[in-house]
């Protein structure tokens, strides 16, 4: 039905009418598609989208690395505090 509507719009003079996401060209196919009468950027859609999951391994590594550094910082901060309490006269 959507393809028929695109053909109808194009016959009426809207030459830029297109289905966005209906084929496998956009991220291997979407679960939904849009009937656009202008460029995808006009609607806030990327014309050449990329899968965000391709950046997951790097961001996961950086998150774990940051967590370890934060844990070490807290450990050394408390360690320094307890050592100062031991040195202080009672």
- With cut-offs at 50, 70 and 90, classify the pLDDT of residue 3: confident
Buried b / exposed e across 62-88, counting CB within 10 Å, b at 16+?
A: eeeeeeeeeeeeeeeeeeeeeeeeeee
State how far the Cα of 1 lies from the Cα of 3, in Å rounded to an integer.
Answer: 5
- What does the pLDDT average to over 4-31? 79
- With cut-offs at 50, 70 and 90, classify the pLDDT of residue 21: confident
* Contacts with 7 (C-beta within 8 Å, 6 or more apart), sequence order: none
Of 49, 16, 52, 50, whose CA–CA distance to 35 is shortest? Answer: 16
- With cut-offs at 50, 70 and 90, classify the pLDDT of residue 1: confident
């Amino acid at each position: 039905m959507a393809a028929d509507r695109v053909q109808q719009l194009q016959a009426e003079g809207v030459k830029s009418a297109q289905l966005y996401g209906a084929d496998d060209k956009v991220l291997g196919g979407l679960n939904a598609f849009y009937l656009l009468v202008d460029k995808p950027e006009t609607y806030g859609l990327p014309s050449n989208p990329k899968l965000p999951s391709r950046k997951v391994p790097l961001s996961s590594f950086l998150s774990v690395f940051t967590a370890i550094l934060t844990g070490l910082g807290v450990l050394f901060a408390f360690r320094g505090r307890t050592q100062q309490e031991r040195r202080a006269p009672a």
